[in-house]
Structure 1
Amino acid sequence: MHPSGRLYPCGQTMNDPDLALGSLAAPDWRKNGLLGREALTGPHCAGCPLAGRCPGECPSRLRYNGPQGRALACAMLRALAQPLAAHGENAHASA
């Protein structure tokens, strides 16, 4: 929530009129799912140790950072999963 009372899905989206969810007095939840439509998917996922189980990236960062942000998020997640895959561990193991 913005100090003015306007509602947003997260702090990174504040002041983005496309994602404003109304106000505390009059919420408009119809836009609430817009960020959830962003995902890390595509042909570059083939061969990734996280293929089919990728946690994805923060939807607002994907929205605002564009293709460069997708590539960076993907590279970061692959790097984090690589040691697990090298040791034959499930890259999606729960704690």
Structure 2
Amino acid sequence: QRKLLELGAVMMAEPELVLLDEPAGGVNPALLERIGDRIRRLNARGITFLLVEHNMSFVMNMCSDVVVLHRGRPIAAGQPAHVRTDPVVLDAYLGA
């Protein structure tokens, strides 16, 4: 719940852009759903979010555009459906 409080505190500044570092880290599924719902509602109001996240399920369900980094460099970018099947991404992370 601390993550929701932190998000609320950030929103008091009325930002146009919010950077979230690992919002899914250490969060149970029920709370993660609440965080995702809050982000979606705020995004619908025009606030842009930049997520740095390792939970790919969360990323693929939350984001309209994704950039995949490997060793600090971008290797793919685009809509989640494209990125999840990109051969470069699959090779880098699954050794396909």
Q: What is the TM-score of this pair, normalised by structure 2? A: 0.24
Q: Which has the higher strand share?
A: 2
- Is the radius of gyration larger for structure 1 or structure 2? 1
The structure in which a higher percent of residues are helix is 2
